[in-house]
């Protein structure tokens, strides 16, 4: 069984080419918040691209499921390291929920 970091490292090459070098840099610097933001941003861009009538050429070889797996793995690892951030993020969403 691989460690969370080994899993993250193995999934980084599935990102769009322009994001790979930044992901590796953030991982090397242990900037997991930036890595989390980058991976979710890439995933959201891919979702938008897949909704288009014609998929842009630069995304044709990208495995959307692998990018999602990476984004989830990074987020899980981030909240494992910084559980207080999860509480703050949950409170932020709680504030945005409308009451009946």
Q: 43-50: long-range contacts (C-beta < 8 A, 24 or more apart)? A: 43/67, 43/68, 43/70, 43/71, 45/16, 46/16
State if pTM tops 0.85.
no
pLDDT of res. 63: 95
Token code pair at residue 63: 């495995």
Mind listing the pLDDT tens digit for each residue in 48-99?
Answer: 999 999 999 999 999 999 999 999 999 999 999 999 888 766 665 555 555 5
Q: Round to the nearest angstrom and report the end-to-end CA distance of the chain.
A: 46
Residue ranges of domains in the chain: 4-96
Residue 11 pLDDT exceeds 70: yes
Nearest to 79 by CA among 69, 88, 68: 88
């Amino acid at each position: 069984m691989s460690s969370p970091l080994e899993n993250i490292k193995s999934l980084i090459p599935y990102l769009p080419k322009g994001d790979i070098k930044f992901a590796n840099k953030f991982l090397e610097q242990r900037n997991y918040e930036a890595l989390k933001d980058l991976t979710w941003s890439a995933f959201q861009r891919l979702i938008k691209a897949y909704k288009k009538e014609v998929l842009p050429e630069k995304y044709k070889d990208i495995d959307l499921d692998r990018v999602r797996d990476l984004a989830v793995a990074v987020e899980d690892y981030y909240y494992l390291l910084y559980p207080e951030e999860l509480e703050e993020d949950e409170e932020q969403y709680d504030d945005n929920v409308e009451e009946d």
